Amino acid sequence: MAKTTYANLPINHGETPIRLFKSDFLELFTHIHPVVVLLLFVPVVFFFLIRAIVEGGSAALVPVLTAYAAGILVWSLSEYLLHRFVFHYEPTQRWLQRVWYLIHGVHHEQPQCKTRLVMPPILSIPLALFFYVVFLVTVGMILALPRLSGPSFAGFLTGYLAYDMLHYAEHHLSMRWGFLKFLKRYHLRHHYKNPNHGFGVSSPVWDVVFGTKPKES
């Protein structure tokens, strides 16, 4: 069975993707082109933003955009926490090791596999529904701002889309200038030098806050 201790996983740069399932049907669901993610979720972002503005009128523009920005910020923290504590959780049970290898271990073993750099819809759609309910409860019920639950969720989705597209770019585009170059080097250091640091993919901010920023070398 494949290892799940990311620091010890061998790096596979072969062009043939590591096979995860014997079944061709199941294997199909482990591969995705990044454009599919945009086709799925960009319309959802626009739907929630446009609906909130239409329902609230011009007076709703500032609150809607504020909620949208807050959703992006919430994603930024969620990205860090999910990557550090969920994706990099290393279970001791053999069956859970297999599950976590499917979730993230295979990406560390074969980081340049083009069709495994964004989350497949079989996972991203249920997770999106789950987080939509979270925003309905927290923003709509607990904070008593039901009209802003949609825009804040749209911001969260926008952050997720930026994360997925940046992740793909960091592995397969040149990104030779400025901050983009920094992000590419930052993420590849996580893969090739220290998988226990540098959990931010779209931003290093939370690594700085929580003390997991990798040292320059």
Residues 111-121: pLDDT tens digits?
Answer: 999 999 999 99
Residue 24 lies in a domain: no
Residue 189 lies in a domain: no
Q: Which position has the higher pLDDT, 60 or 140?
A: 140
Report the SS3 class of residue 164. helix
Pick the closest to residue 38 from 141, 186, 170, 161 (CA basis): 161
* Secondary structure letter of residue 18 according to DSSP: P
Domain interval for residue 97: 6-11+35-175
pLDDT band at 214 (very low <50, low <70, confident <90, very high): confident
- pLDDT number for residue 10: 78
* Secondary structure letter of residue 215 according to DSSP: P
Residue 191 lies in a domain: no
Contact 214, 193 (CB under 8 A): yes
Tokens of residue 130, six digits: 């789950």
- pLDDT number for residue 2: 42
Residue 215 lies in a domain: no
pTM assigned to the model: 0.91
Residue 1 lies in a domain: no
- pLDDT number for residue 59: 80
What does the pLDDT look like over 193-210, one tens digit per residue? 889 999 999 999 999 999
**Can you state the angle between helices 34-56 and 146-172, rounded to 10 degrees?**
160
pLDDT band at 5 (very low <50, low <70, confident <90, very high): low
Residue 206 lies in a domain: no
d(CA 75, CA 66): 14
For residue 139, what are the contacts with CB-CB under 8 A and spacing of at least 6?
Answer: 67, 145, 146, 148, 149, 152, 153
The total number of structural domains in the chain stands at 1
pLDDT band at 4 (very low <50, low <70, confident <90, very high): very low
